[in-house]
Structure 1
Amino acid sequence: MTTQTILPVDAGRLSELSLRSGEPEWLKESRLKALELAAELELPKLEKTRIDRWNINQYGSYKESAAIAALNEAPSSIAALAGSSEEGSLIIQRNSGAVYARLAPELADQGVIFTDLQTAVKEHGELVRRYLHTAVKPEEHSVAALHAALWNGGVFLYIPKNVVVDTPVQAVFLTDDAEASFAPHVLIVADSNSSVTYVDNYVSGKSEAGLHNGAVEVFVGAGAKVRYATVHQFGADTTDVTYRRAIVENDGTVEWIVGEMNDGDTASDTKSVLKGNGASSDAKVIAVGSGSQKLNYTTQAQHFGKNTPSNMITRAVMRENATSIINGITKIEKGATRADGQQTEKVLMLSPKARGDANPILLIDEDDVTAGHAASVGQVNPEQIYYLMSRGISRSDAEKLVIYGFLAPVVSQIPLEGLRNQLKSLVERKLGQ
């Protein structure tokens, strides 16, 4: 069965919008080609998930928001996330475009580029063109093609060779207009022997159905290290579909820290391609589902280089009527000798009506490798609750302690204190504590 893709814009309108935005000719042609692909391709095929029943057509139209000159002008819904300092590096996108961008002067002096992607294609066109849509390819499926055609705002971060950025750079993405398209694209390029930590938050503040179709592309040069931390906390009215990809060269390292704290239907796919020898990947994902959410999380590591370790840990808590599909895929290609792929997926269900499914997959085409997986799905252990209650702890507090203990092995490994605290507070909110 083929599902018809409903295009939210025609080629003429898209071309007009690109020209009005002052985009280079190559980008306009890229958008138009992707739109053409979107009409031909099918929706992504997600394990045991009918994404065609989701709200995946509410793209809205391109609507800019007024720029802000200082952080105290930021919407209250994101003020706490943006922080109060005017000295750090920060980008804020509201609906279809960036409204605030700041790069710390000391980083600018070292050649670091940190701006919204729509500005970067004009000011750093050849650099952007070399990488854009080469990790998350438009031909993958209609959702990726529509993203390539309609992306807006976004982030471009470039770290030059041998530059080490000690302070995290940050972005906040807010959608609060149901009629505005919201499809930010994050593109990070870390040149050889560089290092950076990037943190972003995705937030919604509207009461009508909307869609986030997002993509992240990370390119890690030889000997470089990129730590990518992201928290999604959209409301129940927003459907979230996100594809993340990292391409890692010789001795490079990518670390993913993903907090899936949405209240609406969510599908995400986070993949590391270990292209070079000695490349490594570490992915930590925590998720909490509530209400009637439909969730599908996939974490992948694809090994091409020799001596390439990967580790993936996902822990999810499902309550009420929420359902989740947790996929872990380790693919070791022929020739990737001495690769080591490890993965763990665990789902804890707090309600008889909650559902969780953990699917570990190992695909190995090489003999001289190490690989392993662990997966479990279950409900809160009543003996643990009974033991805690016998010590004078209430049932609700006992359940909370068990849940925190379940998530702790992942949360405790997050090296950013601010992010750890944020995730703890979001877990409390989602669990109704």
Structure 2
Amino acid sequence: MPTTKLTPLQAGLERLSASSPEWLAAARRRAYQVFDGLEWPTARNEAWRYTRLDPALFELPLEEGGGAELLDAERLPELVRRRLEESEVGAALVFVNGRLAHLSIPGELAARGVVFTSLNEALESHGERVEGSLYQAVGATGLKGPEDRLAALNAALWSYGAFLYVPAGLELEQPLGVFHYADAGGVQSHARTLVVLDDGASATLIEEFLSPPLERRAQVAVSELLLRPGSRLRHAAVQTWGSGVYHFHRQRALIEKDALLLDLAANLGATLGRTEVASELVGPGADSEMLGVYFAGAGQHLDHYTTQHHTSAQARSDVYYKGAADGNGKVVYQGLIKLEPAAQKTDAYQTNRNLLLSREARAESVPQLEIAANDVRCSHGSSTAPVDEGQIFYMQTRGIERRQAEQLLVAAFLEEVLGRVPLEKLRAHIARIIEERLA
């Protein structure tokens, strides 16, 4: 009988399903069916109106991530080793080209019930906990439109990632770090992060994506943040990929009663970077503060889409995204505040500000409201403006070179957002990256 040859994506699905527990293999296959039934998003889809997705990226070979090749910190690539030293995280996971390369977690955290490990290892050692949480925030199915096709592909084909669980009532003082490093181009890579904070727990997690310049790499990452009642999470996703990387990151948080999320998205690297950040406020007293900073230089296109979805009464959310573009760089921001009929007594705010440093730089800003409740306080606003030549001239008359003056203006412009991030070393790292790009 004739046999049908599997496509590379189907072959990857079979390989990953064969090494997955039965429930996960079934979920992967359902997600692939969803992916296969959708079209790639185009400019006709509102969420992708300003960004062109090249489907050829997903004809690249799949990176065979997963597994572990553990190294001492001193043997890690210099770029990620330096970030480990500078960030001073209390525990760290380092992935190099999709494989776990370094794991450090103090024994006292493990003894207190904290689980911080690779998602593949968690499937073996904490399978019931993973099964009860994975795909809750960003589903394997229930993805219906072209804008969901990448999320469905990741749900089917993720090969590596991180898992954090903090038990009820435990407050972690030091930040934890997950570092995604790559030095291999010509592949597509799929990563997933799952964070579960039990009732009243507290933690800080920093996710970083970094590399030297590479030859055409597609990086798809999904982060699921589950905040149980009364929990508090400070989270940051910082991408400083080199040129040649095409970065797609979808993050969704489920925020239950009296839980608090403080989130920072920093989009600074890659040739094309698209970040989608959503908070689902599903309990009274839920609170979400979503901050964003970005800087696009020559040849860069950075796209951001935020969603504040209120399904419960008496919740609060605030989005504040600011960024700058230089050369022929382009930045995009689209945001949606969506209130369901039950979301009375809601406070929701959304602000976007953009600064253009050259005549060729471009910015698109589209804030949106969709309100089905009638007893709420909601507002949104956006602005895009060129650099103030009067301020530049003022500094030049005092002996400051133009480029240094622009550095000072951009730093002051972004400080209003970065100043709300209670992680001093991370703030300094982001400011230094932008300063180097402007130098």
TM-score range, shorter chain: over 0.9
Whether 1:32 aligns to 2:29 is yes
Number of the residue aligned with 1:89: 91
Q: 1:373 to 1:86 in 2, by over 3 A?
A: closer
The verdict on how the C-alpha distance between 1:394 and 1:329 changes in structure 2, with shifts beyond 3 A counting, is same
Aligned identity (percent) is 28
Aligned to 1:371: 378
Contact between 2:51 and 2:303, CA under 8 Å: does it hold in 1?
no
| 1:347 and 2:354 correspond | yes
How far off its partner does 1:420 sit?
A: 0.6
Q: Is the Cα–Cα contact under 8 Å of residues 91 and 170 in structure 1 kept in the other structure?
A: yes
Q: Which one-letter code corresponds to 1:186 in the other structure?
A: T
Q: CA deviation at 1:225?
A: 0.3
Aligned length: 424
- Matching residue's letter, 1:9: L
Q: Select between 48-57 and 104-113 the one with higher mean Cα deviation.
A: 48-57
Q: 1:329 — aligned with what?
A: 336
Are 1:398 and 2:405 matched, yes or no?
A: yes
Distance between the aligned counterparts of 2:61 and 2:291, measured in 1?
30
1:95–1:180 contact (8 Å) kept in structure 2 = no
Partner of 2:3: none
Distance verdict in 2 for CA 1:251–1:79, change over 3 Å: same
> Would the aligned equivalents of 1:226 and 1:255 in 2 still touch at CA under 8 Å?
yes
- 1:391, CA displacement in angstroms? 2.8
1: distance between equivalents of 2:213 and 2:56?
A: 15
1:119 corresponds to: 121
Corresponding residue for residue 51 of structure 1: 52
Partner Cα distance (1:178, 1:398) in 2: 36
* Separation of aligned partners in 2, 1:66 and 1:126: 22
Distance in 1, Cα, partners of 2:89 & 2:346: 42
Higher mean alpha-carbon deviation, 217-226 vs 206-215, is at 206-215
1:249 is the counterpart of 2:248: no
CA distance in 2, matches of 1:85, 1:306: 38
The Cα offsets for residues 366-403 of structure 1, whole Å up to 9 and x where unpaired, read as 11100111210010011111222233322222222111
From 184, 189, 206, give the equivalent of 2:191. 184
Matching residue within 352, 360, 364 for 1:357: 364
| TM superposition shift of 1:336 | 1.0
Distance in 2 (CA, whole Å) between partners of 1:135 and 1:322 is 32
1:140-159 alignment runs, 5 A limit: 140=143, 141-159=148-166
For the residues of structure 2 that align with 1:430 and 1:138, how far apart are their CA atoms? 38
Query: Within 2, Cα distance between the matches of 1:55 and 1:356?
Result: 26
> 1:87 deviation in Å?
8.9
**Inter-CA distance 428–25: structure 2 relative to 1 (3 Å threshold):** same
2:131 alignment partner in structure 1: 129
Question: Contact conserved, 2:267 with 2:302, CA < 8 A, in 1?
Answer: no
Question: 1:118 & 1:181 partners in 2: Cα distance?
Answer: 19
Q: Which runs of 5+ in 1 are unaligned?
A: 1-5
CA drift at 1:13: 4.7
In structure 2, what residue type is equivalent to 1:16?
R
TM-score normalised by structure 1 residue count = 0.93
Contact in 2 for aligned 1:313/1:343 (Cα 8 Å)? yes
Q: Which residue of 2 aligns with 1:61?
A: 63
Q: What SS does the aligned partner of 2:122 have?
A: helix
- Post-superposition Cα deviations, 1:157-211, rounded to whole Å, max 9, x if no partner, equal 0011111111111110012122554211010000010000001210123531111
Q: TM-score, normalised by structure 2?
A: 0.92
Structure 2 equivalent of residue 293 of structure 1: 300
Q: Which runs of 5+ in 2 are unaligned?
A: 1-5
Say whether residues 1:420 and 2:420 are aligned partners: no
Deviation readout 1:244-280 (Å, 9 max, x if unpaired): 0000000001111111111310111101000000000
Out of 181, 205, 208, the residue aligned to residue 201 of structure 1 is: 208
Decide which moves more: 212-221 or 31-40.
31-40
C-alpha spacing 1:265/1:16, structure 2 compared with 1 (3 Å): closer
